[in-house]
Amino acid sequence: MSYRMCMLLLVVLITCNFNEKVLALCADSDTLSLDFTNKGISDVGGALFAGCNPVASAIDLSWNTITALEFNAFAIYDFNNQKYVPFSQNLRSLNLSNNRISNISDKALTFSRNLLLLDLTNNSLTELKSGIFDSLPRLERLILSKNRISIIENGTFTSNLRNLKMIDLQHNQLTSMEMWPYTIKPSSMLFIFDVRHNMINQFTNNLNYTYDLEPPYKTMTYLDFNKFTVWNDTWFTQYHPHNRKRFYLSDLSNYILVMSVNPWVCDYHMCQLVSSYQSFILGDVLSRLIVCENPQELRQRPLTSLSTQVLHCNTSVPIIR
């Protein structure tokens, strides 16, 4: 037998062995939760779900070697109508954690419209593209932690995701914070946006966002363990371009920021913030006290315990120690 024939036979045997494992897993047509963990799967498509329950509610594809999600990843081909249709209209939970996913097609999630949970923890994503999650109107929890995300395009988080209760972006490579929690306009009364353990050191407005004070919800935004050092008084005025002279933190009273654990430098840059604390303007905008890391003599001191004199608020040059 030639070398080429031997290799072809080997490929066929490996493929058959893999399909047997999948079919064995899906042999029970009543199984609603499909467990494909650690099966060496590198591609996701209709063939993977052959013989599986067409009303499955959960798929666990964690700990595989998947690198991309194509448009038909969770679809099967309907030969009668000559089009792709969802593998399961009942799919609620999709676990893709601990793979190598670096690319998600624009339409990859189109056939999973009823998802409530999407877990993409510990993959290789570097950016989130505009509209990538728009086909998931019922989604409640989106977990994107432990990737390498540094870019979130405008249009990634929109009001199409109003049912979201939590977005987890911990342990990524973001360097700035946009008004993503507000652009979603979530229906939940308490929405959690978690960006701890990134490299964020400022608030930006590349979204060209102007805030809306009508939504009654509160947004808990976790910004601990980032790179904030000083406070910039213009960060929030940029969300209300019509009057930049006012200090608009008070207007964003539903935007609860948890950001105390950062390398804060307590100098004159903090004066406006301290003044607002002392005049009770801030309310619960900062839900936990900012604690100083520098200068050394103020280390571990809560910002609210410092007077404007201690911060040298009448000077224009930061105190360096």
How does pLDDT run across 214-247, given as a tens digit for each residue?
Answer: 555 678 899 999 999 988 877 877 777 665 555 4
CA dihedral 97, 98, 102, 106 (to 10 degrees): -20
* Residue 307 confidence (pLDDT): 82
At residue 49, the 3 state secondary structure works out as: helix
Higher pLDDT, 287 or 148: 148
Is pLDDT above 90 for 318?
no
* Residue 226 confidence (pLDDT): 97
Domain span at residue 245 reads 180-321
Is pLDDT above 70 for 300?
yes
* Residue 243 confidence (pLDDT): 56
**Domain-embedded: residue 320:** yes
Q: How far, CA to CA in Å, does 175 sit from each of 139, 151, 152, 223, 316?
A: 26, 9, 11, 11, 27
Residue 286: how many CB atoms within 10 A of its CB?
21
Residue 248 tokens, joined? 């608009």
Is pLDDT above 90 for 285?
no
CATH number of the domain at 199, please.
Answer: 3.80.10.10
* Residue 316 confidence (pLDDT): 55
Distance between CA atoms of residues 317 and 313, nearest Å:
9
Distance between CA atoms of residues 213 and 252, nearest Å:
7
With bands split at pLDDT 50, 70 and 90, how would you rate the model's confidence at 52?
very high
Higher pLDDT, 40 or 303: 40
**Domain-embedded: residue 218:** yes
Please name the amino acid found at residue 308.
Answer: T
Query: Minimal CA–CA distance to 223: which of 178, 186, 267, 268?
Result: 178
Distance between CA atoms of residues 138 and 140, nearest Å:
6
At 113-153, the pLDDT tens digits run 999 999 999 999 999 999 999 999 999 999 999 999 999 99
* Residue 30 confidence (pLDDT): 74
Peptide bond into 137 cis (omega under 30): no
Higher pLDDT, 108 or 26: 108
Distance between CA atoms of residues 277 and 86, nearest Å:
53
With bands split at pLDDT 50, 70 and 90, how would you rate the model's confidence at 28?
low
**Domain-embedded: residue 308:** yes
With bands split at pLDDT 50, 70 and 90, how would you rate the model's confidence at 15?
very low
* Residue 139 confidence (pLDDT): 97
Give pTM, 2 decimals.
Answer: 0.85
* Residue 46 confidence (pLDDT): 83
Is pLDDT above 50 for 19?
no
**Domain-embedded: residue 306:** yes
Q: Name the one residue in this structure whose structure tokens are 């199409």.
A: 160
Is pLDDT above 90 for 306?
no
**Domain-embedded: residue 319:** yes
Which of left, alpha, beta for 243 (phi over 0: left; psi -120 to 50: alpha)? beta
- Contact by Cβ (8 Å): 267, 230: yes
**Domain-embedded: residue 62:** no
Q: Which of 36-50, 125-139, 151-165, 199-213 has the lowest mean pLDDT?
A: 199-213
Number of domains composing the chain: 1
Please name the amino acid found at residue 114.
Answer: N
Report the mean per-residue pLDDT for the chain: 82
**Domain-embedded: residue 262:** yes
Q: Which of 133-142, 244-253, 267-276, 299-308 has the lowest mean pLDDT?
A: 244-253
At 160-187, the pLDDT tens digits run 999 999 999 999 999 999 989 888 888 8
**Domain-embedded: residue 138:** no
| Angle subtended at Cα 143 by Cα 111 and Cα 203, rounded to the nearest 5 degrees | 115
Distance between CA atoms of residues 187 and 217, nearest Å:
7
Under DSSP, the state recorded for 126 is -
